[in-house]
Chain A
Amino acid sequence: MDLERLTALIDAYGSEPRRWPTHERQAALTLLATSAEAQAHLREAAALDALLAVRLPEIEPSASLKARVLAQTRQRPVATPGWRAQIAEALAQLFPRGQAMPQFAALALALAIGIGAGLSNVDLGSDGDMISYQLAAAANPVYFEE
């Protein structure tokens, strides 16, 4: 972090450190503590921020808009989740949110199927592979983006 970058941060995100990018915030605050020039720049930015801290006008949706928004889905087919989402949802219902159990359970199950198939020398063919893949993908969808 140098003075140029700190100035750029203040110019873009304003005087409140909570708006600064997380990964740069601490370094920026450290430099700010020792730079009179940066502190002066911060005060200038704070004046504009104070002006921008106003409540802007809000728009009340018209009754006809709400009616249209609700009506537009009535004739549309149900948005059906894909198979991965369905498996993930089933696992999420089995295990409370915030626990790692669904991921571990699915991975363990996939692993067991794989090891079992290997040890028993049973040729599951593409079905076995697909089951393992589906369970693993449901547990960790981020790694199985299509």
Chain B
Amino acid sequence: MLSSLTVAAPPPAAWRIDMTEPQATAPGSDGDLMQRVARGDHGAYAKLVDRHLRHAVTLAWRVLFDRADAEEVAQEAFLRVWQHAARWQPDGSASFRTWLNRIVVNLCIDRKRRPGMAALDDQPEPVDPQPGPYEARLNAETSDRVAAALQRLPERQRAAILLCYWEGESNIAAAEALGITVGALESLLVRAKRAMRNDLAPDLGRQE
């Protein structure tokens, strides 16, 4: 019985952590491109943009649930990549993807801290009473219901669970990205999952 508990089946492809990134400074790797960007190489910068812009926009959108804001965040994130490339350490524990995730999440959180924005963690996201075409489709399938449940979380809880579950970041990297302690991260995760469990109760019932 225990073996069935401790030996988990391989996660589905959508959830699996991509460990295939080439060695940090191998030619053509993210690390190699970053070293070239640090010397002002626009071609290397363009390759990084090709490789990671979609991911940056997607992550920002998953935190903010606003396409225009997500695109602004992604643009600003790549400007910081350009400006701070020399600071990135290819031999450090963080991959380029982790570093980019940190920049994107920081920008998303900062965006919500601007004057006039609602407090981050104190209230649930308002749900648009007039959903757009994408939102209208959110009720169609389980994955869409999960996305909808995510959308109803406060940003910091959403960012925490996105980083740990979908981005495969370690607890330390996720805490650093959010600028909080590991203990505070665990608190965010517990609250996020409790809310999602309640939100997805019908789907959980169907599983059992």
Chain A residues with CB under 8 A of B49: 66, 69-70
Chain A residues with CB under 8 A of B82: 72-73, 76, 79
**A96 closest partner in B (C-beta):** B25
A47 in complex: contacting residue of B8, B13, B142, B208, CB < 8 Å: B208
Question: How far does the Cβ of B149 sit from chain A's closest Cβ, in whole Å?
Answer: 9
Chain B residues with CB under 8 A of A42: 5
Interface size on A, residues (CB 8 A): 52
Question: How far does the Cβ of A39 sit from chain B's closest Cβ, in whole Å?
Answer: 6
In the complex, are the beta carbons of A58 and B58 less than 8 A apart?
A: yes
In the complex, are the beta carbons of B42 and A73 less than 8 A apart?
A: yes
In the complex, are the beta carbons of A53 and B8 less than 8 A apart?
A: no
B180 contacts partner chain A, Cβ-Cβ < 8 Å: no
Chain B residues with CB under 8 A of A66: 49, 53
In the complex, are the beta carbons of B54 and A59 less than 8 A apart?
A: yes
The B interface is mostly helix, strand or loop, or mixed, namely helix
B120 contacts partner chain A, Cβ-Cβ < 8 Å: no
In the complex, are the beta carbons of A80 and B86 less than 8 A apart?
A: yes
B172-201 Cβ-contact flags toward A at 8 Å (1 or 0): 000000000010011101100100110010
In the complex, are the beta carbons of A12 and B190 less than 8 A apart?
A: yes
User: A76-B83, A79-B37 are contacts. A33–B6 as well, Cβ < 8 Å?
Assistant: yes
Question: How far does the Cβ of B157 sit from chain A's closest Cβ, in whole Å?
Answer: 12
**B91 closest partner in A (C-beta):** A97
A13 contacts partner chain B, Cβ-Cβ < 8 Å: yes
B57 in complex: contacting residue of A56, A59, A81, A141, CB < 8 Å: A59
Question: How far does the Cβ of B106 sit from chain A's closest Cβ, in whole Å?
Answer: 18
User: A21-B182, A68-B75, A69-B74 are contacts. A55–B14 as well, Cβ < 8 Å?
Assistant: yes
In chain A between 60 and 84, which residues have their CB closer than 8 angstroms to a CB of chain B? 60-62, 65-66, 68-70, 72-74, 76, 78-82
In the complex, are the beta carbons of B86 and A59 less than 8 A apart?
A: no
For this complex, 11 residue pairs linking A to B, each with C-beta atoms less than 8 Å apart, are: A16-B11, A19-B164, A43-B5, A57-B144, A58-B54, A59-B54, A65-B53, A65-B71, A66-B53, A72-B79, A73-B42
- In the A-B complex, the 8 residue pairs with the smallest Cβ-Cβ separation, listed nearest first, are A78-B40, A55-B14, A81-B86, A54-B143, A12-B186, A12-B189, A53-B15, A73-B82
**Extra inter-chain contacts (14) besides given A13-B189, A15-B8, A69-B75, CB under 8 Å:** A11-B190, A12-B189, A19-B164, A59-B57, A60-B57, A68-B75, A72-B79, A72-B82, A73-B45, A76-B79, A76-B82, A79-B38, A79-B84, A97-B91
Which chain B residues have a beta carbon within 8 Å of chain A's beta carbons? 1-2, 5-6, 8, 11-15, 23-25, 35, 37-40, 42, 45-46, 49, 53-54, 57-58, 61-62, 67, 70-71, 74-75, 78-79, 82-86, 89, 91, 134, 142-144, 146-147, 150, 161, 164-166, 170-171, 182, 185-187, 189-190, 193, 196-197, 200, 203-204, 207-208
